[in-house]
A and B are shown apart, each in its own frame.
Chain A
């Protein structure tokens, strides 16, 4: 009777996570950490900011 499969919150969180990855709003290496907090409703403002800021790829060095 206990839930072992994907809950509605997990399903929705996964969909949102996928979209954020597509839009490069989430760093691929941080997805698991992000989703684990996201699905429990434990993402604070600071967490969101870190995720969005770290999703930005550093500028590639310009070719001379």
Chain B
């Protein structure tokens, strides 16, 4: 069995400074005592993080994400470090990006932790919450998580199936509507739809395309004819303008000379020449030098005389140019119109579907199409006839186009709907097959989980009763049943038998203390199921409300149970635990007791061992100059405890008072006969008797010095000034001698009479005689 050596906390919650908890060897129980807020739960949290990756003390506190609160407020999350060293292995945990990272990565210590709030969740909440409280201890949360995802899948798949069924219905309704619209009555909807879907939409597409193309070409022809008509009109008008210009020119020339036109042109050329050569030496034509200098001015004068002719000539030239341009435009317009007409006729002759109205049926078009297929012999009138026929045909085609578009749309709709119907039917079939398989799987999961958990609960129910009986013997409440509700998921009933009432929830009749005990018993029974020798048992402040004498029994039970576990860590703020330890009432040899001091931000968690009272007395006496009053005070308290034990053990007649009995009340009732018989045998760990201590002489000597305690160690008393210190020290040494004789640091007080011959302690290291006071 691996044993823990140390636990180190760095920057975790209250550990503002590094805190190390060293586990003592051969002490399977470590009790950590401290007031609230001293850091007890932080120690448990450290083990929880290492083992389970969670910080349990922050759970159920309404925090959505707790990792941000794990580190000490003066440190960063990255500073958090937890280290648990054992005889076999060392584990560490850190927080990296909000997640716990442990090392070694594939190994974690096994830690079972019970916290106080879990007891109430387990016993005093509704059945659903009870199961939730129990779940971490059964350790099948991963299976529960997988079951949750399966349940979600089942729900979503059922919805998918519903949607698929609804869609199939919608598809059928839509197809039925189309079926009715189509007026088909001789076949079922699906047969009709399948037949419809066989139809080729391309056929409709071609007719639609031909009609739309024909209509476009017909519009084009109209437009071209309009252009041609405009060009022809303009050309005719320009012809008239040109004729007028020609007449005006002829008339002006006639007025000047018969050859005026040529002369004017000659003079214009000469004038241009003399613009460059303004001072000629000779006539450029006849090379005569006579009048050569005056030639430019002479030509200027002659030209002015020809201006009317020149104006008329310019006008005629402009008119001629415009006529030629319009003539060209007219030819182009004619060519375009012919081409448009040819395109229109070509459709009619080559691509025209047979089911469309034919151009041949039209009187205007018959001749044109039949006689002039290539259009080479067409004149404008022919083109107009073609356009008129085309326009008429377009009118006839309009309803045909609408019918075909509607038909095309319907065909595509049927095709699409049928495709959707087939897809949805297939999906419906697949989901109809999947849903029952998912249901069956979910059923198996729930059934097996319930059987598994029931088996665990049945196995522990009797054990819970046994453990409970150890703490509350003879109370008749040991018939505990833990039952899962078969009709509800994750619902647990905890029932108990009470006198006169069977199967009652414990919360109905049990006190808080009893419920605490029961919760601890359930937890312990669960924890010991699963190889407890590998488990660190942690009880975080769970037995605060347990009262006397049950606290002794529950401590006894915990001692007994702790032997089964690798280690047992108990935290408590319950003061009697501390006092019992100090007086050696606990089995101190098996138990390590650590007291946590008051937490402070600067010091963090502070822990120290707790001294036994007798050890404290020994310590006080061991210094060179003991403080007598303090020594006597401690010795007095120890003596009171020792005498209380002896008078109770031997039924001595102690006088009754309202106040606690004093030494003066406790010592005299131990009569001389008993004193003579009182002796202690001391045994070593091997069970060998080492020596025997008679108690009578010690008690007799103490009786002589008992007043010393009252004078020197109880109150301020001037009489103490008169007494020598050695009297006080002798008193204290006698008390220590008596304490060492009766109490063993490791094994406590001789409180068991099971031997039938003497009283002894848990380790049988002391035997106190006699068993009973002599008569």
Contacts and interface: CB of A to CB of B under 8 A. Distances in A.
A12 B452 contact: yes
Interface in B559-605: 566
Interface string B141-160: 11111100110110011000
A29 B449 CA distance: 24
B53 interface: no
A1 B86 contact: yes
Interface residues of B, number: 41
A3 interface: yes
B152 A9 contact: no
Nearest to B447: A19
A8 B138 contact: yes
A43 to B, nearest CB: 4
Given A1-B88, A15-B448, A23-B444, A43 B139 contact: no
B444 A9 contact: no
Contacts of B449: 12, 16
A16 B143 contact: yes
Tell me if A's interface is mostly helix, strand, loop or mixed: helix
Contacts of B531: 5
A8 B109 CA distance: 16
A20 B434 CA distance: 14
Which of A20, A23, A41, A42 has the most C-beta atoms of chain B within 10 angstroms of its own C-beta? A41
B743 to A, nearest CB: 35
B110 A2 contact: yes
A41 B145 contact: yes
B525 to A, nearest CB: 15
Interface stretch (B216-224, B435-443, B715-723, B733-741): B435-443
Contact of B109 (A2, A9, A38, A52): A2
Nearest to B452: A12
Contact of A12 (B143, B437, B438, B530): B143
Tell me if B's interface is mostly helix, strand, loop or mixed: helix
A54 to B, nearest CB: 11
A1 B566 CA distance: 8
Contacts of B109: 1-2
Given A11-B452, A39-B142, A2 B441 contact: no
Given A2-B89, A19-B448, A52 B434 contact: yes
Nearest to B453: A12
B363 to A, nearest CB: 67
A55 B440 CA distance: 13
A47 B535 CA distance: 33
A8 B530 CA distance: 8
A53 interface: yes
A30 interface: no
A48 B438 contact: yes
A31 interface: no
A44 B530 CA distance: 29
B448 A16 contact: yes
B140 A9 contact: yes
Interface in B540-568: 566
Nearest to B435: A52
B418 to A, nearest CB: 25
Interface string A29-64: 000000001111111110111001101100000000
Contacts of A53: 434
A12 B107 CA distance: 21
B110 A3 contact: yes
A1 B89 contact: yes
Interface residues of A, number: 32
Contacts of B452: 8, 11-12, 15
Contacts of A13: 142-143
A38 B149 contact: no
Contact of A8 (B2, B139, B149, B438): B139
B615 interface: no
A45 B536 CA distance: 36
Nearest to A44: B149
Contacts of A38: 142-143, 146
B437 A25 contact: yes
Which of B107, B156, B444, B531 has the most C-beta atoms of chain A within 10 angstroms of its own C-beta? B444
Interface in B72-101: 86, 88-89
Interface string B1-17: 01000000000000000
A19 to B, nearest CB: 5
A8 B110 contact: no
B434 A3 contact: no
B153 A45 contact: yes
B404 interface: no
Contacts of B146: 37-38, 41-43, 48
B456 to A, nearest CB: 8
B149 A2 contact: no
Contacts of B145: 41
Contacts of B153: 45, 48-49
B107 to A, nearest CB: 4
Contacts of A9: 139-143
Contacts of B89: 1-2
Given A13-B143, A25-B444, A43-B149, 18 more contacts: A1-B536, A1-B566, A2-B108, A5-B531, A9-B141, A12-B449, A15-B448, A19-B444, A23-B440, A25-B441, A38-B143, A41-B146, A43-B146, A44-B149, A48-B149, A52-B438, A53-B434, A56-B433
5 contacts: A1-B109, A3-B534, A25-B441, A41-B141, A44-B149
